[in-house]
Amino acid sequence: MAGVAAGGHLKPQIQRTIAQRCKRHEITISAYAAAPNSSSFRDLNQHLHLRKRDQPNRGGLFRQICHRPNRGGLFRQICHSAYSFNTKAEMASKDDKDQRLATIASTIRVIPDFPKPGIIFQDITTLLLNPKAFKDTIDLFVERYRGKDISVVAGIEARGFIFGPPIALAIGAKFVPMRKPNRLPGEVISEEYSLEYGKDIMEMHVGAVQAGEHVLVIDDLIATGGSLCAAIRLLERVGAEVVECACVIELPELKGRDRLGDKPLFVLVNAA
Partner 1 sequence: MSGCKEEDPRIQGIRTRIRVVPNFPKPGIMFQDITTLLLDPNAFKNAVDLFVERYKKENISVVAGVEARGFIFGPPIALAIGAKFVPLRKPGKLPGEVISEEYVLEYGKDCLQMHIGAVEPGERALVVDDLIATGGTLCAAMKLLERVGAEVIECACVIELPELKGRERLEGKPLFTLLESL
**Which positions touch partner 1 (CB under 8 A)?**
109, 111, 114-115, 121, 123, 125, 128-131, 134-135, 138, 157-159, 161-163, 165-166, 168-169, 172-177, 179, 182-186, 205, 208
Nearer to partner 1, 56 or 112 (CB): 112
Q: How far apart are CA 30 and CA 89, in angstroms?
A: 12
Please, what is the minimum distance in Å from the beta carbon of residue 226 to partner 1? 18
Angle between helices 131-145 and 88-107 (to 10 degrees): 130
Please, what is the minimum distance in Å from the beta carbon of residue 151 to partner 1? 9
Within 10 angstroms of residue 236's Cβ, the number of other Cβ atoms is 14
Q: How far apart are CA 265 and CA 246, in angstroms?
A: 6
Nearer to partner 1, 54 or 187 (CB): 187
Task: Let me know if 109 is a catalytic residue.
Answer: no
Give yes or no for a contact between 194 and 222, defined as CB atoms under 8 angstroms apart.
no
Nearer to partner 1, 14 or 108 (CB): 108
Nearer to partner 1, 14 or 184 (CB): 184
Nearer to partner 1, 62 or 145 (CB): 145
Task: Let me know if 213 is a catalytic residue.
Answer: no
How many residues make up the chain in this entry? 272
CA dihedral of residues 14, 15, 21, 26 (deg, nearest 10):
160
Q: How far apart are CA 37 and CA 158, in angstroms?
A: 60
Please, what is the minimum distance in Å from the beta carbon of residue 227 to partner 1? 15
Q: Dihedral sign, CA of 203, 207, 211, 214?
A: negative
Please, what is the minimum distance in Å from the beta carbon of residue 217 to partner 1? 15
Give yes or no for a contact between 103 and 60, defined as CB atoms under 8 angstroms apart.
no
The neighbouring-strand residues paired with 81 are: none
Please, what is the minimum distance in Å from the beta carbon of residue 195 to partner 1? 16
Q: Which of 159, 203, 250, 257 is labelled catalytic?
A: 159
Catalytic residues: 159, 196
